[in-house]
Amino acid sequence: MNLTFTPDDALYHLALVLVSGIVGGELVGRVGLPKVTGWIGTGILLRALDDHHGAFTGLNENTVANFRPYMSFVLGYIGFTVGAALHFASLRNAGKRLGLLLLGEATVTPAVVALTMYGLGRMVAPEEMTARACLILAAVAIAGAPGTTVLVVQEARARGILTRTLVAAVALIDMVAVAAFIFATSYLAEGSGGDGPWHATWQVAFGSVVKEFGVAVAVAAISTLGSLVLLRTVVGPAFLGPLMVAVILAAWGGAAGFGASGILSCTFAGMIITNVRHDTVRSAEAYLHSIGGALFAAFYTFAGMNLDFSLVLHSAGLVGLYFLARFVGKYAGAFAAMSLADVPTRVRNYLGIALLPHGGVAVGLILFVQADARFSDVAATVTTVGLAALAINQLVGPSSARFALWRAGEADKDLPRLLDFLDEHHISANVTGNTKSDVIRSLAAQLYTTEVKPSVSQEDFVQKVLEREEEQSTCLAEGLMIPHAILEEGADITGILGISSRGLELGAPDGQPVHAVLLLATPQTDRKRHLEVLAAFARIITSDVNLREQLYHARSAAHAYDVLHADEAEDINYFLEDAMARAGVRQDGSAG
C-alpha cells in the first residue's frame, strides 16, 4: 500500500473548503458581520495561500472547476428559492413598487455606470474604456446576489416591507440583468460586422432576449409540470422534497443543454411551482434546510476562491470607479422608484443600500464575455474590472444589506407577533362599499386570494359573518368595525384589514364613519388569540390617538403595515414569546 499523501481527491478538497469556510464564517460572525462575508473572505485567503501551502492542501485556482456541477446546483437552488418568493397573489400590493424598481434597475443603474465609466473611466484608462466595454459592464452592474441577500435576511431575522420588497426583487433584477446583457452583447456583436440597417441590429438583439427567456420558461414548465403529474400519480409525500431537487437539476441541465441560462430556468421553475402548488415549495425548502448551512458555506468559500483579489491592485482606479458608479446607480434608481411608489420613508432611504450585493449571475455574464471570441477586444477589461469590483462587493455587500435592514428597523423582527396574519397582502387601503354586505363581500373576496384561506367556502364564510352581524353589530366606536365568524375547523386565525381614509357610512352606533374594517376568520381552537386581537384593536382606537389616525389615513397597504408593525406599536402588536414570558409560560405551553 502506497502511504504517500497526494491531496488531489475531490472529497478531501470539499472537506477542507467546508471546514475552512465554517471556521471563517464563525470568526467573522463573532465581530457582528454576516457569515457569508467570512465564507467569501476565507475563499480569497485560501487562493492567496495556494503558492505557499498548495503542496499540502492541493487547492489551487483550478479546484473550483472540479466542483462546477456542485456550484451549478447551489446556484439553481438559490434561483428556485428566490423564484418561489414570487407568489403573485401575495405580491398584489407590492406590484407597483416592484414594477417601478425594475424600471429603475433597467434604466438608472446601467445609465449611471455607462456614463461614468465612459466619461471618467476614459480619463483613467482611455484605451481600455471603450464604448463596448462600458456598455457590457453597465449590463453586468444590474445583477444582484439573490443567494447572499436571502442568507443575510435569514441571518438578520428580518421581516417587513423593505425585506419583502428586497427578496421579491432580487430574482426579478437578475432577470433584468440577463435580458439587458443578452440585448447589449447581441447588439454589439451584430453591429460590429457593419452589415444591415441599424433597426435590423435591434431586432436581432431583441430576438436573442426572447429566445433566451423562451427556452428558460419552456424547460422550467416541462420540469415543474412533469413533477406535479408525478406527485398526483406515482410519488408519495415522503419523496416530495427529493422530487423538487430533481426539478432544480432538470431545469438547470435542460436549459444549459439548449445554451440558455440555468439560473434563469430554475428561477422560473420556482415561480411556476409556488403559483401552481404553493405548499410544494415549502416542502422542498424544508427538505434542504437541514443541509443548507453546509451547501452555502462550501459554495461561497468556493466563490471566494474564484475571485483573484490581486486584480483590484492591478486596475485600482477603474475598479473603484466602477464600484462607486454601481452603488450610486443602485441607490439612485431605488430611491427614485420608491419615491414614486410612495412607500414608507425607511424603505425608500435604505432599499438601494440593501441592493449592493453582487453575485453569481454577474460572474456567469463576465465569464461569457471572456469565452466569446467576438468580444476579445474587451474581454480582458471586462474580466479585470468586473471581477475585481465583484470581489469588493462580495466582501462589503452583505454588511451593507444587513446595515440597511437594521436601519430600516426590520432586523430581529421574524419572531411571532400577535398581528402577523395581517401582512401586507392581507391589507386593503382603498376599501369601498355602500352597505355592510358590500364591504364584507369585497374583503372576503380578497381574503380568498391569499395563501391562508378559511376552512369553509367563500360564500359559506360570508353568510356566517352576515348572520353574526345581524345578531349584533360589530361596528365599534371611533370608526372601527370587526365583522367575524367562528369556524369549526382550521388551525390559526386569519383575516383582512380594509381601510378607508374618507370613511364609510355603515350605521355605526356613534354615528361616525367607519375607517377600518377588520374581517376575521377564527377557528374554535384559536379563540384566545381572537380575543387578544379584538383587545389590541380596541386599544388602538381608544388609547393611542396618533396611532389610530396614522392607521385610518394610511396611503397604502405598505404604510398600514408599517403602522401596525413599527416599534411604536409593540405594546399592541406584541411578540408572543415576550407575552408568554411575562405570563410565566414556556413555548411548550407549560408553566414556567
Q: Provide the CATH number for the domain around residue 507.
A: 3.40.930.10
434 with 350, same domain? no
262 with 363, same domain? yes
What is the tally of structural domains in the chain? Answer: 2
166 with 264, same domain? yes
> In the chain, how many H helices and how many E strands?
25, 5
Using alpha carbons only, give the angle 70, 72, 73 rounded to the nearest 5 degrees: 65
Beta strands in 356-466 (DSSP E): 427-428
388 with 444, same domain? no
- Does 24 reside within a domain? no
433 with 284, same domain? no
- Does 60 reside within a domain? no
434 with 338, same domain? no
Query: Cα–chain-centroid distance for residue 410?
Result: 14
- Does 203 reside within a domain? yes
Cβ atoms of 519 and 447 within 8 Å: the answer is yes
Cα 175 to Cα 12, 184, 383, 399, 506, distances in angstroms: 36, 14, 21, 24, 47
- Does 293 reside within a domain? yes
**Domain containing residue 379:** 65-407
- Does 1 reside within a domain? no
210 with 300, same domain? yes
- pLDDT of res. 14: 86
- pLDDT of res. 2: 54
Out of 357, 377, 407, pick the residue that ends a domain.
407
Measured distance CA(133)–CA(315) in Å, rounded:
15
Out of 379, 407, 435, pick the residue that ends a domain.
407
- Does 43 reside within a domain? no
3-state secondary structure labels for all residues of 132-151: HHHHHHHHHHHCCCHHHHHH
- pLDDT of res. 35: 81
Using alpha carbons only, give the angle 316, 317, 318 rounded to the nearest 5 degrees: 95
372 with 436, same domain? no
306 with 448, same domain? no
- Does 413 reside within a domain? no
Angle between helices 316-341 and 379-407 (to 10 degrees): 50
pTM: 0.74
- Does 461 reside within a domain? yes
429 with 394, same domain? no
Q: Tell me the CATH number at 297.
A: 1.20.1530.20
- pLDDT of res. 577: 57
C-alpha cell read off for 503: 370613511
Task: Count the neighbouring beta carbons within 10 Å of the beta carbon of residue 7.
Answer: 13
Cβ atoms of 241 and 77 within 8 Å: the answer is no
Using alpha carbons only, give the angle 575, 561, 433 rounded to the nearest 5 degrees: 125
382 with 262, same domain? yes
468 with 559, same domain? yes
In sequence order, the 6+-apart residues with CB closer than 8 A to the CB of 204 are 186, 187, 190
Out of 365, 381, 407, pick the residue that ends a domain.
407
Cβ atoms of 518 and 489 within 8 Å: the answer is no
Measured distance CA(448)–CA(451) in Å, rounded:
8
Measured distance CA(496)–CA(499) in Å, rounded:
10
- pLDDT of res. 109: 94
Cα 258 to Cα 185, 211, 212, 375, distances in angstroms: 18, 10, 9, 22
In sequence order, the 6+-apart residues with CB closer than 8 A to the CB of 263 are 75, 76, 78, 79, 174, 252, 360, 361, 364
Per-block mean pLDDT, blocks of 10 residues, the chain (592 long): 60 87 89 79 80 58 78 83 75 81 93 93 84 92 86 86 87 86 81 48 78 91 92 82 88 90 87 81 69 81 73 78 95 94 89 88 77 81 82 84 91 77 85 88 87 82 90 85 86 87 86 89 85 81 79 86 76 60 44 40
